Amino acid sequence: MKTFDPQAMYSEWMSQLGSQAPWQDWIQPVKAMAEMPVSDVLKDIGATIDQAVLARLQNEYMQEFGRLWQDFALSKLPELNDKRFSATDWHNHAMHSYSAASYLLNARFLMAIAEAVEAPQKIKQKISFAVQQMIDAMSPANFLVTNPEAQSKLIESKGESLARGISQMLADMQKGRISQTDESAFEVGKNVATTEGKVVFENHLFQLIQYTPLTKTVHQRPLLMIPPCINKYYILDLQPENSLVRYAVEQGHMVFLVSWANPDESMSEVTWDDYIEDGAIKAFEVVRTISKQEKVNAFGFCVGGTIISTALAVLAARGIHPASSLTLLTTLLDFSDTGVLDVFVDEVQVALREQSIGRKGIMPGRDLASTFSSLRANDLVWSYVQSNYLKGEAPPPFDLLYWNADSTNLPGPMFCWYLRNTYLENKLRQTSELTVAGNQVSLGAIDAPVFVYGSREDHIVPWKAAFASLKILNPEHKERNMFVLGASGHIAGVINPPAKKKRSYWFNPVATESADAWFSGAVEHQGSWWPVWSEFLAKHGGKMVKAPAKPGNAEYAEIEAAPGRYVKVRAN
């Protein structure tokens, strides 16, 4: 069967362009593009495409390609509206300018075909993702021979840039990942994760940090923060000026935080039930004992939100309601819409994971990191290939990217349970469909006012999927729920301190059935959403009391200073 090979076609274009072949020779690969047997290829994966749509796309491609090369013949340089080609080197050299323009044209055409495919949504999403990955990889900016910026650096430095690039590439090969920042510039506990506190409890799953008050009085009800176990906790405590932990302490809250262990082979049989019972529920028990309070302000970020919500549902089934309020940041409870991550989850892939690590094993942090990087390949992969290796530039220090590189493993049984029961089968949202830690789970049984935050450009937890939690929680008292939508993405939207005066957020106090209806009535406000959350917490924090003079109590004494040992363990 005749197949379409875009990489070979692109190489052919470049070779012909380099040899300055006449116009009639250049048009041959264009004819091949127009005549490619797309229908035959799609049959192999159970998809089709309307032939009239395909013919229209191919005709449009031919016309645009013709205009592009007519401009070339007239020495009229194309416009390159893409940040990868914004440097003057791309615009000062006709060959490189048309190399980029040809690539962008091909990219648009390939994505148009992917979007025109008629197939079940899951298959269509996978096709689009695979095509986008191929397009990103094919960019002429990714290769020394077609990147004029890298070539200029090479000439200016008399070869030193290439030597540095090769050296940096070899070093990254030893690490098994691309360096995104100067990792030597940071040290956990020294200039990240520096908010003062003490570890007051630990078991095989987590350490519990109690932070030192920064105010003379505090809200009597403490704040328990559970971060995602898929990353280190200090995304919430990077540096003083952008630390959500420190902000909460400054607002007069007695803050406790779970620092998850970085699993090794000793945790290879740990389950989701363990994370709920010995993790979140145990944290509630310790915090309530130390604070002598029946109610706690509960907080979960991303997977941490899923964990703490599950724990509260388990406790509700036992007749225990320890939450004065519940805050969920970029959290999924309804997994109907999981964004681009959906391409990695289907029955075949989950079954393979279950077969390999479902009973015993470790999900390596490097695999998880690679998956998340692929979701934004141009920003998190190829831009560093270009700067680090082709140009020989050392990545600058950046605390958030240091955290991003500090990956964590996950226990295989826990990870596989999570994949199947949430992402694949979406059982968590269904009343009494799941049994966790010996109890049937019903999220609607959680008795607490809820603050839900979503990020408008979040590609991991789409904001409408975060909003969907409002339909599950407090089903009989929706007026107790609050939703805030922040600008930017999964991390940058959350870590947006007021002092920076950056970005914006949307708020609508009216409870609505749909996310679209909520947004249509929402008002945009400049700056950080943190003060809105702070007001919510204050309402449910109880009266102000004298700040504790020392951490812990007779039962739970100080173990070591924050950030503790667990967060410093690196994934193998």
Q: Is 81 helix (H, G, I), strand (E, B) or coil?
A: coil
Q: Which pair of tokens denotes residue 114? A: 């992917």
What is the rounded CA–CA span in Å between residue 541 and residue 555?
24
Q: How far apart are CA 507 and CA 22, in angstroms?
A: 60
Task: Report residue 326: phi and psi, to 5°.
Answer: -130, 125
Residue type, 3: T
Residue 135, classed as helix, strand or coil, is helix
d(CA 370, CA 267): 22
CA 423 to CA 419: how far, in whole Å?
A: 5
Tokens coding 390: 């082709």
302 in active site: yes
Residue 261, classed as helix, strand or coil, is coil
Q: Cβ distance 16 to 98 under 8 Å?
A: no
Are 496 and 531 within 8 A, CB to CB? no
C-alpha to C-alpha distance for 303 and 226, rounded to whole angstroms = 9
Q: Between the CA atoms of 543, 219, 280 and 238, what dihedral angle is there, to the nearest 10 degrees?
A: 160
Question: Phi/psi of residue 199, each to 5°?
Answer: -80, 125
Tokens of 323: 């939450």
The helix (H) or strand (E) run that includes residue 414 is: helix 412-418
Catalytic one among 110, 302, 414, 571? 302
Looking from the CA of 202 toward its CB, the CA atoms found within 13 Å total 18
CB 427 within 8 A of CB 442: no
Residue 442 CA to chain centroid, in angstroms?
27
Q: Which residues are catalytic?
A: 302
